[in-house]
Amino acid sequence: MKERMRSLEQYSRRTNIEISGIPETREETPVEIVRDVGKALGIAIEENQIAAAHRIPTFKRDRIPSLIVQFQQKTVRDIWINKYKEKKTLFAKDINAAF
């Protein structure tokens, strides 16, 4: 039963990506951050392609919480991964000059 649950959990994460290193701002909107990251990667993203986006809480004060993005389709996730691999490096200042 545990193996089946683990398998289902893994399957449900197949459309997810984790974005780390983006500083938190007071009135940030996770979907807007995703849109900005996409723009920096050369990806036009529509809001309806995003199923969910949120920060992962961290217990260490010196760590920036990562952002988890769940896309509606695995193909969209794959495009993001490929574009990131092409870019090789991406810094917060590339996403928003305010960082």
68: exposed, middle or buried (C-beta count within 10 Å: 0-12, 13-18, 19+)? Answer: middle
User: Strand, coil or helix: what is 2?
Assistant: helix
Residue 98 confidence (pLDDT) above 80: no
Global pTM exceeds 0.85? no
Class of domain 15-95: alpha beta
Q: Where are the domains of the chain?
A: 15-95
pLDDT in tens, 29-49: 999 999 999 999 999 999 899
Q: Which amino acid makes up residue 21?
A: G
Helices (H) and strands (E) counted in the chain, each on its own, are 4, 3
**Sheet with 50-55, side-by-side order of all strands:** 16-19, 67-71, 50-55
CA angle 11, 14, 18 (to 5 degrees): 130
